[in-house]
Amino acid sequence: MATYKHTTGKRLHFIHIPRTGGRFIHENLLSNGFEREHNTAGTIEGSDIIHLHRELYEKHLDVEGITHIAVIRNPIDRFISASIFFKRMYGDDIQEAMEDPIMFGTMIQNFPLPDIYTTPSWLRPQSDFLTEDTHIWRFEDGFKEEFGDWMSEILGVPFTVSDVPYKKLTTDETNKLTRSAKLIDNIRQFWREDIEQFYPELATQFG
């Protein structure tokens, strides 16, 4: 999470939910005249500053009364994207284990700490990051002209989306788990709250 200030004085709180295009959006904020107001390196209360959830950013950042924006993502796609970290920790041969419901939960709950609600923040439900006043964009709607128009309207300043370079991870971002039916079902059950709230079209098979 970070607060930004535009050259016009307009302030913005960008709620960076992990694996939702945040690095790309950060660079576009900079290219549109916004500057980050504080250092995002390190952790606060066990959570990465760059990915603070609602309880912590309301407690530690100056966000009251300013515009909040966030990008949400289909929980299945979001987890598959994040699975690069599981393969890095547990090894490449974990597909079968992650397809087992018990093993799936166990591996998540022990990665990388017994308490999944500390680090990494991307294991939290996306709803934990948002307030009722947060302006929400869906990752699936892309980051082209429509996103720029949306940002411009919300912020009251011109916002143009550019294909800017952004910092890459040291982990191989192509080494992901395979989308099998069993794995997808485990993901859907584990992040059921997000699916029911934001992606109900994925909840048709819930009992």
Phi-psi map region of 148: left, alpha, beta (phi>0 left; psi -120 to 50 alpha)? alpha
Better-predicted residue by pLDDT, 103 or 205: 103
How confident is the prediction for the chain on average, in pLDDT? 90
Q: Is the pLDDT of residue 117 over 90?
A: no
pTM, two decimal places: 0.90
DSSP tag of 3 = E
pLDDT tens-place string over residues 119-136:
567 788 999 999 999 999
Q: Could you report the per-residue pLDDT of 30-72, keeping only the tens digit for each?
A: 999 999 999 998 888 888 899 999 999 999 999 999 999 999 9
Q: Using alpha carbons, select from 87, 85, 70, 96 the residue that is nearest to residue 123.
A: 85
